[in-house]
Amino acid sequence: MSRTVRKWLRGLIAAGINGGLGSLTAMGFAPTEINFDNGLLKFCGVFTVSAVLGALTYLKDHALPDDEDIEDDAREAIQAVLERKRKRLAENHPDARL
C-alpha cells in the first residue's frame, strides 16, 4: 500500500473516530437519555451516525488519491529498493561494474 493511500486511510479513520467522539458531547447535553447504563443503544447510535458524518466530511475534502500520486509513490519505493541493492552489491563485490 502506498504512502499516499496509508495517509488517506489514517485521515479517514481519524475523522470517523473524531466524529464518533462527538457522541460524548451528546451525553453531556442529555445524560439521562444517552449514557452507558440505560442508554447504551442510543449512545452507540449517536456514535455511529457521528462517525459516518465525520468520515463523509473528510471524503468531501479529501477524495481518493489520484493514480498519479500512487504511481509516484510506487516509483519512489522501487528506486529506494534498487539503490539499497546497488549499495549492498558494491559492498559485497567492490570490483563489480554497476
- For 76-98, what is each residue's pLDDT tens digit? 778 888 888 888 888 888 776 65
Domain encompassing residue 51: 1-65
Q: Are residues 48 and 80 in the same domain?
A: no
Q: Rounded to whole angstroms, how far apart are CA atoms 47 and 42?
A: 8
Q: Are residues 80 and 41 in the same domain?
A: no
Note the residue count of the chain: 98
Q: How many CA atoms lie within 13 A of 55 on its CB side?
A: 13
* 8-state DSSP, 98: -
| Count of domains for the chain | 2
Interval 69-78: pLDDT, tens: 667 777 777 8
Interval 4-63: pLDDT, tens: 778 888 888 898 888 888 888 888 888 888 778 887 888 888 888 888 888 888 888 887
Q: Are residues 49 and 92 in the same domain?
A: no
Please tell me the pTM assigned to this model: 0.57
Q: Rounded to whole angstroms, how far apart are CA atoms 59 and 91?
A: 47
Q: Are residues 95 and 53 in the same domain?
A: no
Kind and range of the H or E run holding 54: helix 40-61
> Would you place residue 1 in the very low, low, confident or very high pLDDT band (cuts 50, 70, 90)?
low
